Amino acid sequence: MTLIEVNNLYKIFGKKPEKAYPLIEEGLNRTEIKERVGNVVGLRNINFEVKAGEIFVVMGLSGSGKSTLLRCINRLIPTTSGRILIDGTNICDLSKKELRDIRTKYFGMVFQKFGLLPNRTVLDNVALGLEVQKMPQNERYEKSEKAIELVGLSGWEQSKITELSGGMQQRVGIARALSIDPKILLMDEPFSALDPIIRVEMQELLLKIQKRMKKTIIFITHDLNEAIKLGDKIMILNEQGELVQMGTPEKILLEPANDFVESFVKEVDKTTVIRVEMLMKKPKMTITIDTDISSAIQTLEKLEMDYAYVLDGGKYVGIVETEQLKACKSVAGCIIKTKTVEDIKTINQVLPVFITSEHPVPVVDIDGLFMGYVDLKDVVEVIKD
Ligand SMILES: Nc1ncnc2c1ncn2[C@@H]1O[C@H](COP(=O)(O)OP(=O)(O)OP(=O)(O)O)[C@@H](O)[C@H]1O
């Protein structure tokens, strides 16, 4: 389900922003437009959708418009044109009261500089949003304690902010945003001020929280490694405030849209990002476990498949390969002599795999009925009819 939808969004700073449109059309850049008409083009024609439960990362260099976009989304600043739908409501059209309600219901914010009140305790900082909503103290403390536990700060409730390290302060920042139980978390470079080890720890924490909470997150960063680690989807803005590429981390890494994206991507070790999912064979074809071998060969060959997934009661239990099935068919009716007398009695059947197999082979009868396994080291002779 789409929770956020942005269409044709422009943000032009300065008086009479309409003067900038024809110049944008002409293809002038930000500096040229500023020189000609004095306006700064923050964002140019941005379009995207964010699905509920997704971490959507906005990435770009300094000045690319990342913070401007975030401020437009929660309407801290007005847009110049375009629309922003939050759960279907265009927030560009709302009255102050409606805007306040939608912000309370939907948005939690986490900032790079934490934005905490230094003289308050951890608990009172986390409870701040609920206090603004005029929630009674015991109720807001109860909710805040849960959020504090979620970010791993239990036991620190009564500490002053000044007693905490940077990483801990940002945990408080995240707990404060979560305490109001917003549908959407807007995170503006939340880990950029932290040293590298703490930063990685915080990324892990966010992923852990996200697994439990399944929030919809817009996460701003200028670091591609961070974007790749966190993002279900990444949107890259260039220095003109334009969207240059949007897609999964794998897509961005494997198919950078232009030289600009390529220049970011070059630095990343792709094998640390691309998951086996990209390379695995997808189960295009399934057959049920009780399919007889002749029918299975027929089906697989018709669809030109060299393997199929085998289902037992709808559950995946194994794989069969066309070659293996054919080998079975070719030795159907062979007599397998094994070392033990008992085996010779029962194995006047079918050997359904290559005789070179190192593993015990399943033995089926002429009708494909499974009879048991025989270890090839015990096979002394296979006699064709
Ligand atoms: N209030 C404003 N008035 C005029 N120009 C502005 C204003 N706010 C932002 N800008 C300009 O809009 C462009 C985008 O700025 P923004 O802060 O959104 O970029 P950013 O990608 O968040 O950068 P950073 O990573 O440095 O925070 C910049 O050229 C900036 O100078």
Cα dihedral value 318, 321, 324, 328, nearest 10 = 70
The CATH number assigned to the domain holding 293 equals 3.10.580.10
pLDDT above 60 for 333? no
Centre a 10 Å sphere on the Cβ of residue 20 and count the other Cβ atoms it contains: 25
Backbone torsion region of residue 44, taken as left when φ is above 0, otherwise alpha when ψ lies between -120 and 50, otherwise beta? beta
264 and 305 in a common domain: no
Q: Which residue from 329, 328, 347 is spatially nearest to 337, judged by alpha carbons? A: 347
Which pLDDT does position 352 carry in this prediction?
46
Mutate to test the pocket of ligand 1, among 35, 46, 68, 71 (most ligand atoms within 8 A of CB): 68
| Model pLDDT for residues 231-240, shown as the tens digit of each residue | 999 999 999 9
Helices 166-179 and 137-150: crossing angle in degrees, nearest 10, is 130
Which pLDDT does position 334 carry in this prediction?
54
The CATH number assigned to the domain holding 196 equals 3.40.50.300
166 and 295 in a common domain: no
Which pLDDT does position 271 carry in this prediction?
77
pLDDT above 70 coverage of the chain, percent: 83
Domain region containing 217: 2-278
Atom 12 of ligand 1: nearest residue by CA position? 42
Q: Say which residue the tokens 């499974």 belong to.
A: 370
258 and 191 in a common domain: yes
Q: Say which residue the tokens 């939608």 belong to.
A: 102
82 and 55 in a common domain: yes
Joined tokens for residue 34: 């500023």
Which pLDDT does position 293 carry in this prediction?
82
337 and 300 in a common domain: no
Contact (CB, 8 A) for 270 and 254? yes
Binding site membership of 65 for ligand 1 (Cβ less than 6 Å): yes
Binding site membership of 349 for ligand 1 (Cβ less than 6 Å): no
Pick the last residue of a domain from 328, 343, 364: 328
Joined tokens for residue 122: 């951890």
112 and 247 in a common domain: yes
DSSP strand pairing (233-237 vs 216-221):
unpaired
The residue ranking higher by pLDDT, 344 or 71, is 71
Binding site membership of 63 for ligand 1 (Cβ less than 6 Å): yes
Mean pLDDT in residue range 18-36: 95
Cα dihedral value 252, 254, 257, 262, nearest 10 = 90
| Model pLDDT for residues 200-246, shown as the tens digit of each residue | 999 999 999 999 999 999 999 999 989 999 999 999 999 999 999 99
363 and 273 in a common domain: no
Binding site membership of 13 for ligand 1 (Cβ less than 6 Å): yes
Q: What is the largest CA-CA distance in the chain?
A: 98
Q: What is the DSSP string of 215-243?
A: -EEEEEES-HHHHHHH-SEEEEE-TTSBE
> b/e map of 279-295 (b: 16 or more CB within 10 Å)?
eeeeeeeebeeebebee
Q: Say which residue the tokens 């995946």 belong to.
A: 316
54 and 18 in a common domain: yes
Binding site membership of 240 for ligand 1 (Cβ less than 6 Å): no
Binding site membership of 40 for ligand 1 (Cβ less than 6 Å): yes
Q: How far apart are CA 80 and CA 75, in angstroms?
A: 11
Which pLDDT does position 360 carry in this prediction?
58
Q: How far apart are CA 261 and CA 244, in angstroms?
A: 8
The residue ranking higher by pLDDT, 23 or 340, is 23
Q: Name the DSSP letter for residue 19.
A: G
Q: Give SS3 for 195.
A: coil
312 and 356 in a common domain: no
Binding site membership of 17 for ligand 1 (Cβ less than 6 Å): no
Work out how many domains the chain is built from and give that number: 3
| Model pLDDT for residues 258-294, shown as the tens digit of each residue | 999 998 888 887 777 777 776 676 667 889 998 988 8
Atom 2 of ligand 1: nearest residue by CA position? 13
The residue ranking higher by pLDDT, 371 or 326, is 326
Mutate to test the pocket of ligand 1, among 66, 223, 244 (most ligand atoms within 8 A of CB): 66
CA–centroid distance for 53 within its chain: 9
27 and 16 in a common domain: yes
Binding site membership of 222 for ligand 1 (Cβ less than 6 Å): yes
Q: How far apart are CA 7 and CA 16, in angstroms?
A: 21
37 and 24 in a common domain: yes
Atom 29 of ligand 1: nearest residue by CA position? 63
144 and 71 in a common domain: yes
